[in-house]
Chain A
Amino acid sequence: MSVSTYKIPIGPIHPSLAEPMTFNFEISGERIQSVDLAPGDNHRGIEFMGRNRNVVQIIYLAERICGICSASHPFAFCRAVENAAGIEVPPRAEYIRVIISELERIHSHILWAGIAAEELGFNSVLYLSWKVREEVLDLLEMLTGNRINYGMFMIGGVRRDILAEQVPKIRETLQYYKDAYQTLEDVFLKDPSIALRTKNVGIMTYEDALHLASVGPTARASGVKKDVRQDQPYSAYADMDIKAITPDIYSGEVNGDVYDRIIVRILEVFQSVQIIEYCINNLPEGEILSEPKIVKLLGTLKKAKGEGVGRHEAPRGEVIHYIKLNESENPEVWKARAPTYNNLMSWLPMLQMQEIADIPIVIASIDPCIGCMDRVTLVDPGSNKKQVLTREELVKLSIEKTRRMVR
């Protein structure tokens, strides 16, 4: 009897995320033989639009590459422009930038933890972690005026200052997260059923992580000590001693499985708390913008000529923006490379020979951000829809597996 494989296309609506993305799985029995990705469902042509706008307008476009990374993209973009035009950022602004980015990391990682728990069927854990997350959103709203898409960044600084009367609230929130660490650790790292579902699932080896150029927590969970904040300190990070977090800090070993990715992200939340604390304690006095008059700033940028690169460690990994200014209103080239673009290929080794019921958690484990990634159109291999598994069916499979294992 010959064993034949069959194909399951999943998506583009709701594979395991709120964003569209198409997967084609080749299945033999319960095991995945191979995976093919067909991205492009979220392509908006952002870099193209950027070429018709001036540099300050692009900041808001960069912010809307992805709502979750809405501090990381403008951060990298502003750094690229400052690099190209030779603009100095005042120290106080650098510290405020770092505070906002680290607050974003806290919200993003906790958001991810909740989603991952939901994929496993622990809805109560989703609610718990998103309840914890609301505190940092409140703080962000107080500091920037918005829960998402903060509008904080400006070429040469930030748009809003952190006032003395806001500092107690920041400290209060940091204390809240220090207290929440125990809860998160108990729920995610000490819970036997989460460990059962995530240990030895979706493994990516150290070598694969290097070959596929994975970035961020996905690479760090496989033992690659890679973090832009450590490797090429910039902004206020240069004043601190930041070390890349790998899972062996917590468990003493590196397996590169989904469990290790949870460890890295939970620990990074508390690394961020420490960074913000340092920034608050050492916030320098002074200006927050190198050129407060936007018209004058645009005039300078219009005369600028040159190329610039900006790198930043976003919650999902390294984000790079490249810009070329050529003495005109609009930039000549603008290119953004988001971390998910690198991490996408990590799915291939991770999903190999896994069970269908593990698809949701493995896909979620790299914390994909399709909005970030889909600025590049890739080839769409004619999706032959034979049988489409909806997210509901997939998550149901995943939940059933959890129940089986817990029993």
Chain B
Amino acid sequence: MKLDKYLDRSLWVFHLNTGSCNGCDIEIVALLTPRYDVERFGIKLVGSPKHADVLLVTGPVNRKMLPRLKLIYEQTPDPKAVIVVGTCGSSGGVFYDSYNIVGPVDKHIPVDVYVPGCPIRPEAIINGVLKAWLKLERLRGSSGVEIEKKIEEVNA
């Protein structure tokens, strides 16, 4: 896989928990460890949204985290992609009818990729990040035809 040729920079990811059950969050950490090891693709978890290309959001968004979610979205520099990891962030999931939940995430910030599952498998998150990478390529100005050609080359 010649992935890095097209990533003029590696994808750096910031992880934001908006009140999740932690299940998806530990799977995100599991991604970094030897079994899945996304760092071999250059994907790295960073400690500040200002360094990130991709925002990984977990959790159904509770009242207290809502202003922080918006703030962090604004702090992430453009071009950026937002991935919602887990069912509870995509639709509310088991937490759909609580007084303190104001989600799902796409009610408040634009979302590019949804990774459903409760909890998701680590492979699914890798797939989600790949989808986000395509979106970033498009934002950087690659045309649809170019991207398709690149995908073909990657798959070849």
Contacts and interface: CB of A to CB of B under 8 A. Distances in A.
Q: Are A and B associated in one complex?
A: yes
Contacts of B29: 18, 115, 130
A359 to B, nearest CB: 15
A233 interface: no
A371 B26 CA distance: 12
Interface residues of B, number: 41
Contact of B16 (A13, A111, A392): A13
Given A41-B19, A66-B22, A147-B121, A49 B97 contact: yes
Interface in A52-82: 52, 60-61, 64-68, 70
B137 interface: no
Taking chain A's interface residues, is the majority helix, strand, or loop, or is none over half, making it mixed?
loop
Contacts of B22: 18-19, 66-68, 369-371
A391 B46 CA distance: 10
Contacts, number: 128
B48 A148 contact: no
Given A67-B21, A67-B119, A149-B118, A130 B72 contact: no
A393 B50 CA distance: 14
A10 B24 CA distance: 23
B106 to A, nearest CB: 18
Interface stretch (B4-12, B57-65, B107-115, B147-155): B57-65
B26 A14 contact: no
B144 interface: no
A178 interface: no
B23 interface: yes
Interface residues of A, number: 46
Interface string A17-50: 0111000000000000000000011111110110
B80 interface: no
Contacts of A14: 47
Given A40-B64, A148-B119, 17 more contacts: A13-B72, A19-B17, A41-B62, A42-B17, A42-B59, A43-B19, A43-B64, A49-B97, A64-B93, A67-B20, A114-B33, A131-B34, A147-B119, A149-B23, A374-B19, A392-B47, A392-B48
Interface of B: 15-30, 33-35, 46-48, 59-60, 62, 64-65, 68, 72, 88, 93-95, 97-101, 118-119, 121
Listed from nearest, the 5 A-B pairs whose CB atoms lie closest are A67-B23, A392-B47, A130-B33, A45-B98, A67-B22
